[in-house]
Amino acid sequence: MFGVSFFWPQSAAQGIEVTQEPHGLERKTMAEIKSTLELALERTRRISISQEEKEEIKRKETLKKATGIFHRYMEDTLSLNELLREIERIEEKERPMVRDALLSRWIDAISLEAENEKLLRGIESLKGQNVDEIRWKLEVLRSEYERRELEAEQKVEIHLTEALRKEGIHGTAVVPRVKKSREWKERTRSVAQGLQGKVEACKEALKKL
């Protein structure tokens, strides 16, 4: 025996389909399982997700602004004073995120080979603090790196010259391509790794200011 699907007047008003089973039993469909409260909660969740998405889009747009400012400053198309004025023109509630993003980018960019002075001036301007002690430490590390790098270059040049001599290649016109050699890259990598811990300590100190 087959059931017959139809809408009761009262059920139809609610958009609920009811299936009449034998012996007068009603079989509720999936549409009726969701109560009014469940539907309301589902709508609320959709609204909440939509709001979160809007906030995420806004956050990404703000970070994009900060990235643009960072690159223009580092490429000398935006002076430090212009940078500060540009931040002031940003919506007030967005400014802290822009400042934090810039500070994070500047600190992360510090290295033995980077243009650290420009980075440190930017950090000082946003932190409102003097960083001379850290500046001095980084300069000492840079000098030590350059000294060791020069020593490595001289040693590699001697090794390469000797290797070429053994192959019958020698003379004043023979100049080994030191900085293209694997030995040079390995030596300089080793030098940098030996000093990297101290560089990271300087960066951590900047984050804590």
Q: What is the pLDDT of residue 81?
A: 95
Specify the pTM.
0.70
**Shared domain check, 163 and 100:** no
Q: In the structure, what pLDDT confidence band is assigned to residue 36 with cuts at 50, 70 and 90? A: low
Q: What is the pLDDT of residue 32?
A: 55
**High-pLDDT (> 90) share of the chain, %:** 51
Mean pLDDT of the chain: 82
Using left for φ > 0, alpha for ψ between -120 and 50, and beta otherwise, residue 4 falls in beta
Cα–Cα distance measured from residue 102 to residue 70, given in angstroms and rounded to the nearest whole number: 6
Let me know: does 156 contact 178? Beta carbons within 8 Å.
yes
Please write the tens of the pLDDT for every residue from 125-182. Answer: 999 999 999 999 999 999 999 999 999 989 998 898 888 888 888 777 778 888 888 9
DSSP designation for 112: S
- Domain region containing 18: 4-33
Instruction: Check pLDDT > 50 for residue 1.
Output: no
**Shared domain check, 208 and 139:** yes
**Shared domain check, 83 and 148:** no
Domain count, the chain: 3
**Shared domain check, 139 and 75:** no
